[in-house]
């Protein structure tokens, strides 16, 4: 039987955070969401809102006292709040860096002070330009110049990981780092430059699908309920303490092929329009891309048994439905996460 716990979910009004909140409430837990609504939205919590076990606090992880107070009242913390999206990081480098480093430091220190279990969301950006194929957690990080704003996000998340793992080694903080690869699904905003919702919206609207660069960059997309399932499994597993895990599907596609699939599945007549990176980001030097991003998730699978359920076709069809379109084929709606016993 599952013990009912109280979770603090920072960034809980965001895309992944709101799905995690729904799943934790469904398991009978209480959830305190801390979110400044900078990219999140109360509407993401619409299904959870009537639940008396949800408490929403509008505030920032940059407010150390607030983070401390909320952490003291919870059993475990999932830290998802961050300045995200390539566009946002390129356009607001200082604010993004402060949120992603100082905010996380507050969360880690509060978890340490109060002896709370912590799950920290990191990112595949950590690997930078390492395009060597399925990257394991031990793969090298290959980052570009500090003048390229994108790498500041990767660097901030690396600092977060170092702080978290340092607290584990020196103070025994029960912390797990989840390196998330491209996660997609309902409630993901197209506003911060996320590729799938943007291309899906263009396909549904019959507009040209704008593919950045030459479209040969390879990515893997993971459906959000699969990511939430992985996070729940990691929270529940004692072997996850002090460890780093890749979380993502290994089904690869080029962005041009993804755009083609969206056109095909939506029945759209939209052409693809290839846009040079220099035209996408106004300052011309704030952007650099990774040629290939594919995770090796053996470590996660061996510890928790996790495998993603939704494949690329499910994901594309779901994105088109979410963008207001239909699809010619049968849609296998990716299913919700199974219940996983909780642990602190
Ligand atoms: N979506 C992905 O593909 C992906 C990939 C890798 C890593 N991640 C990580 O997962 C986490 C969640 O990302 P997401 O995709 O759900 O993005 P999101 O923008 O939907 O969620 C981030 C949430 O954090 C909130 N937030 C931002 N700054 C805050 C602050 N100072 N105080 C409190 N709340 C703040 C935002 O309002 C938002 O609700 C992030 O840490 C991100 O780095 C996401």
Query: Which CATH number characterizes residue 63's domain?
Result: 3.40.50.720
Percentage of the residues of the chain whose pLDDT score is greater than 90: 78
pLDDT of 330:
44
Asked, for residue 230, whether it belongs to a domain, the answer is yes
Q: Is the CB of 6 under 6 A from ligand 1?
A: no
| Structure-block tokens of residue 231 | 């996070």
Q: Select from 54, 41, 50 the least CA-distant residue to 15.
A: 41
Is residue 35 situated within a structural domain? yes
Compute the average pLDDT of residues 210-218.
94
Residue 283 within a domain:
no
Judge contact between 64 and 106, C-beta under 8 A.
yes
Ligand 1 geometric centre to CA of 256 (Å): 26
How many domains does the structure of the chain reveal? 1
Closest CA to 150 of 283, 25, 261: 283
Q: What is the 3 state secondary structure string of 255-295?
A: HHHHHHHHHHHHCCCCCEEEECHHHHCCCCCCCCCCCECCE
- Mean pLDDT, the chain, whole residue set: 91
Structural domain contains residue 240? yes
Closest ligand 1 atom number to CA of residue 187 = 20
Whether 328 is in a domain gets the answer no
The verdict on the CB of residue 40 being under 6 Å from ligand 1 is yes
Q: Nearest residue CA, atom 34 of ligand 1?
A: 35
| Confidence bin at 341 (pLDDT 50/70/90) | very low
Q: In this structure, what DSSP letter does residue 11 have?
A: T
CB atoms within 10 A of CB 145: 8
Residue 17 CB less than 6 A away from ligand 1:
yes
**Domain assignment of residue 36, given as a range:** 6-182+222-249+294-308
The pTM assigned to this predicted structure is 0.93
pLDDT at 89: 80
197 occurs within a structural domain: no
In angstroms, what is the span from residue 83 Cα to ligand 1's centroid? 6
The answer as to whether 330 is a domain residue is no
> How many C-beta neighbours within 10 Å does residue 151 have?
20
Give tens-digit pLDDT for 50-63: 999 999 999 999 99
Catalytic residue among 7, 153, 212, 223: 153
pLDDT at res. 301: 98
Q: What is the tens place of the pLDDT at every residue in 32-46?
A: 999 999 999 999 999
Structure confidence at residue 282 (pLDDT): 62
Answer yes or no: is 336 within a domain: no
Q: Is any ligand 1 atom within 6 A of the Cβ of residue 83?
A: yes
Q: Please indicate whether residue 153 is annotated as part of the active site.
A: yes
Q: How confident is the model at residue 86 (pLDDT cuts 50, 70, 90)?
A: confident
Report the alpha-carbon distance of residue 84 to residue 189 in Å, rounded. Answer: 11
């Amino acid at each position: 039987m599952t013990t009912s716990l109280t979770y603090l979910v920072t960034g809980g009004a965001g895309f992944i955070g709101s799905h995690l909140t729904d799943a934790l409430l469904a398991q009978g837990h209480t959830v305190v969401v801390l979110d400044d609504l900078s990219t999140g939205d109360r509407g993401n919590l619409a299904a959870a809102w009537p639940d008396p076990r949800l408490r929403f606090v509008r505030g920032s992880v940059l407010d150390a006292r607030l983070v401390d107070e909320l952490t003291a009242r919870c059993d475990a913390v999932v830290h998802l709040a961050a300045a995200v999206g390539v566009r946002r990081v390129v356009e607001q480098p200082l604010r993004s860096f402060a949120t992603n480093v100082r905010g996380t430091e507050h969360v880690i220190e509060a978890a340490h002070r109060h002896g709370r279990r912590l799950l920290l969301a990191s990112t595949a950006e950590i690997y930078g330009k390492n395009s060597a194929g399925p990257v394991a957690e031990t793969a090298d990080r290959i980052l570009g110049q500090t003048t390229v704003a994108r790498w500041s996000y990767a660097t901030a998340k690396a600092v977060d990981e170092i702080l978290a793992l340092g607290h584990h080694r020196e103070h025994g903080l029960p912390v797990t780092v989840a390196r998330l690869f491209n996660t997609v699904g309902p409630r993901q905003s197209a506003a911060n430059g996320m590729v799938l919702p943007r291309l899906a919206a263009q396909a549904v609207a019959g507009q040209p699908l704008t593919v950045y660069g030459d479209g040969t960059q390879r990515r893997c997309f993971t459906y959000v309920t699969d990511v939430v399932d992985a996070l729940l499994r990691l929270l529940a597993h004692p072997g996850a303490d002090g460890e780093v895990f890749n979380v993502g599907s290994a089904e690869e596609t080029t962005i041009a092929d993804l755009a083609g699939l969206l056109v095909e599945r939506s029945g759209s007549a939209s052409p693809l329009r290839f846009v040079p990176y220099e035209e996408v980001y106004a300052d011309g030097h704030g952007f650099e891309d990774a040629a290939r991003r594919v995770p090796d998730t053996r470590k996660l699978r061996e510890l928790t048994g996790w495998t993603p359920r939704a494949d690329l076709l499910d994901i594309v069809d779901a994105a088109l439905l979410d963008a207001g379109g239909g699809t010619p084929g049968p849609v296998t709606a990716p299913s919700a996460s199974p219940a996983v016993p909780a642990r602190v």
